[in-house]
Amino acid sequence: MKISIGADHAGFLLKEQLRLQLVADGHEVTDHGTSSDLVCDYPVFAAAVGHDVAGGVSDRGILVCGSGVGMSIAANKISGIRAAVGTSEEQVRVTREHNNINILTLGARMMDGSAAERLVKEFFKAEFLGDHHARRVAQIAEIERTEHGAK
């Protein structure tokens, strides 16, 4: 699977751990940075990963910041992105199955590396269920087109 990944300074170390694990698991990983723990602005990385996923360059994305929330907010501004903060394996599974999330955001200050790795594995294992969930995801896309003027 092609994965785009990005983090700000707060998420740098966790992103590096996840990137190495993804490569070891055989995924093709595009790392959009950051490349250190020097203070930087998370929206830059959310946009880069979001554009990869929305544009079909990557199948899915992972974003890491201190809480996961800022990255989620920024990524969701991109048409076609459905990003959600992961806090438990069950939550990640359900958001993937019901909401067809294509970007998982994680809070480096909220969990340790092994917990984050479990959430990422669940994100890749779970699949969108379609059916009545597809109708709801289509309604979300329609709101996005209406509100943002996307075509």
CATH code at position 118: 3.40.1400.10
The answer to whether the beta carbons of residues 102 and 82 sit under 8 Å apart is yes
**Predicted confidence band at 143 (pLDDT cuts at 50, 70, 90)?**
very high
The answer to whether the beta carbons of residues 32 and 5 sit under 8 Å apart is yes
Sign of the alpha-carbon torsion through 35, 46, 23, 58:
negative
pLDDT tens by residue, 88-136? 999 999 999 999 999 999 999 999 999 999 999 999 999 999 999 999 9
The better pLDDT of the pair 150, 7 is held by: 7
Domain count, the chain: 1
pLDDT at 148: 73
Active site residue 65: yes
In this structure, the strands spanning 2-7 and 83-85 are unpaired
CA–CA distance from 90 to each of 51, 87, 125 (Å)? 27, 9, 12
pLDDT tens by residue, 55-88? 999 999 999 999 999 999 999 999 999 999 999 9
Out of 51, 98, 132, 133, the active site residue is 98
What token pair was written down for 118?
Answer: 């479990």
| pTM reported for the whole predicted model | 0.95
Domain containing 97 equals 2-148
3-state SS assignment for residue 107: strand
First to last CA, the chain: 27
Out of 51, 65, 132, 148, the active site residue is 65
pLDDT at 149: 67
Active site residue 98: yes
Taking the C-alpha atoms of residue 89 and residue 72, their distance in angstroms, rounded to an integer, is 17
